[in-house]
Amino acid sequence: MKLIANLLGTSLNLVTVVALAAATVVAALTRHLPDHRTLANWEPAVTTRLYAGDGTMVGELARERRLFLPIGAIPARIRQAFLSAEDKNFYAHPGIDVASIGTALLSNLANYGSGRRMIGGSTITQQIAKNFLLSSDRTVERKLREAILSLRIDQTYSKDRILELYLNDIYLGRGAYGVAQAALTYFDKPVSELSVSEAAFLAALPKAPNNYNPDRQAERAVGRRNWVIDQMRQNGFVDAAAAAQAAAAPLGVDRRTPSPAVAAADYFTEEVRRQLNTQYGEAALYTAGFSVRTTLDPRLQEAAMKALRKGLVAYDQAKGYRGPVARISSIKDWPSALAKLRPLSDVPEWRLGVVLAAGKADAEIGLRPESTASNGITPAETIGLDRKGATWALCRSAKGKHNCAAGIDGVLTPGDVVYVEKQEDGYVLRQPPLVQGALVSMDPNTGRVLAVAGGFSYIQSEFNRATQAYRQPGSSFKPFVYAAALDNGYAPTTLVMDAPIALADGAGRTWKPKNYDGRFSGPSTLRVGLENSRNLMTVRLARHLGMDLVADYGKRFGIYDELEPYLPMSLGAGETTLLRLVSAYAVIANGGKAVTPSMVDRIQDRYGRTIFRHDQRRCDDCNGADWTGQEEPVPVDDRDYVLDPMTAYQVTSMLRGVVERGTARNVGSLGVPIAGKTGTTNDEKDVWFVGFTPNIVTGVFLGYDTPKPMGYGETGGGLAAPIFIDFMKIALQGRPAADFHAPPGMMLEAIDRKSGQPVPEGTPGAIIESFKPGTAPCMSGCAVIDGFETASTSATADPDLSPELREKLLTNGNGLY
């Protein structure tokens, strides 16, 4: 009896010691345990998505690409697949699965010393504890802390909430977090459309996404997927027939391929990203899950890139062939050597290739594969390039001289890496142009930017010449000088002297601006001066108005932040961006109202709440409770006027003359009412054309990134206007024909275009001119504005002017057109 008592006492003491030891261990493990209650406020990092105006997704911004879905929006098929693969007893256990842990322990003991990776038997709740609150260390202490947290989590949250956290947080490869993003990434479809086979594949990935990568480990991926399907069958989620059908299906995994229009939108989306980053900060931009509806028109964006590239390539090829983009030393293993080179992937019609053989009449080109076969073997493809496809390249450009070869072998050598483009009648040799340019198109009535082409290729250069390049606009600034005159009592028929000018610069030198053609025509109307882009008339007009007023108009239209009040600035010697210049022309196009350019229509947060809207027009009755036959409500446009509507119409009429009779006559081939202005700076370093209809305004710029002459005789009308024409052919499709209408009160009279005097309607050389009330054409003996009646007039009479600015000003005005 005493022995039994001793044994009981010893046992009790032992149990007490063990209990105390266990309590001590638990206390130590839980002393600094993370607070599991923070999961209640968890907001996952969600992808910010950019959408075009038509709803097409054009970009994603994220550190973790994730689309959050509440558990009620996740189909049962997806939940069943993941439960079968990861935790079949999820809805039954208290956060840890003792049976699974025992099975894992026995398996690890059996495999001890074999080098196999240990398995943990973790539940979904334990994975939540590890991923959200703990580290991934594979230690006993971490597993014990994980188990304690899992029990607490299971007591605090519902099973559905825990599963929601898991299915939205789990990493599933290819940069995709959560099942919603993975469905788009692997199958380009929402989770609601996934089949049993596709759901099972996603459920196969959490353990080790790289081990089941469908691109590199297709067989292993199929095997793991089929195991998940069989688990779904055993758990009663699918019957045997459905399981067999799913297991027999191919993986069906594909990469999302953007449409050509989306692929052409890199410059646009990057500019939007920069603006959002400035407004909201980087952390919010990449984690807050904004839904950004941009102003992009995909059709016009694609047309913009095509038109700009066509113009840049045409100019560049006319200057001659410069040689290969690279060289391959040995062509024995050319496919692998070529595969290492990075092509211009955003110019998909161009293929990178290597010259394998070259003769006088043709050459053999080995093409870089567009993709690598799943078995790792790179397919080889060769094409023929005949003389017709390389004719433009037979003359090579070196040190400003052309050396022409008799055959293709005179310019191409085996090992040369070149670009080729497939056309209907064969391949054509291409080379990335050195010259760059930009195109911007905008709705002048709303400021919505419809398309932005910032250069030849975003892969080649991310610098956006539409928004980041500050260049001299040259003569494309002149309409704003003339607008200042018309706003201040002048008329389109006002005569200004077109004659030589010589002005001291205040530092011992002389400024002698010239007209582009070197000629002058005496007294001429403002209309003729703008239509023919006469520099001498513009300088005289600016002098007569006062450069302070001209500078004010440059700032008023948003072209410049500040404009120095020197006469050469009237000829576009200041620097601005294409976007700012197009926005200024939009004011003229819409009748004088202020325009705020925008690339974003609306921004919503992850909960669908609108946090930004570009359209700020007031609409008092748009949210009426019911309709009782009243008129349809109209938003109130209460924007300020930057320009008198009558002045805007007069400038528009004169700019139509630029297209009909002046420096941009080729634009008239579009066959619709268009107003516009060319611009060419000194030594042809920059060429421009900005044109508009009542519904769309588009500007084009060309020039080298480091400004240098583009060649004598190159003008905005010859280089930029053809790009404008190519783009507008697409932009005008589907748009109703529209004409410019004079505002109420404007007087229209027939006048002689050159003299500005009234003539009978129908007289040769007569046009219908517009006049404001209180103004009229001069009948006879009209005064001629000279602007230089004062002998002390100086071009840059400022003793503090920097030598650099003085030099720029004094060389301005000798080649503007």
Residue 676 · residue 720 · CB < 8 Å: no
Catalytic residues: 86, 475
Q: Are the C-beta atoms of 550 and 780 separated by less than 8 Å?
A: no
SS3 405: coil
**3-class secondary structure, 299:** helix
What single letter denotes the amino acid at residue 564? E
- Cβ atoms of 596 and 447 within 8 Å: the answer is yes
Sheet containing 495-498: which strands, arranged edge to edge? 522-525, 495-498, 784-785
Q: What are phi and psi of 166, to 5 degrees?
A: -65, -50
* Tokens encoding 587: 């004011």
- The amino acid present at 727, given as its one-letter code, is F
Q: Where are the alpha helices (DSSP H) in 319-371?
A: 334-339
**Residue 148 CA: distances (Å) to CA of 87, 93, 274, 762:** 18, 14, 45, 96
List the beta bridge partners of residue 542. none
Instruction: Look at strands 57-61 and 48-51 and give their pairing.
Output: antiparallel
CA distance 591 to 99: 78
Main-chain phi, psi angles of 321, to 5 degrees: -80, 135
Please report how many Cα atoms fall inside a 13 Å half-sphere around the Cα of residue 100, on the Cβ side.
20
Q: Would you state the structure tokens that stand for residue 368, as one six-digit string?
A: 């870089």
Q: What angle separates helix 535-545 from helix 547-556, to the nearest 10 degrees?
A: 100
The DSSP secondary-structure symbol of 72 reads G
Taking every pair of C-alpha atoms in the chain, what is the biggest distance, in angstroms?
Answer: 144
663: nearest Cα among 422, 416, 474:
474
For residue 669, which amino acid is it? Answer: S
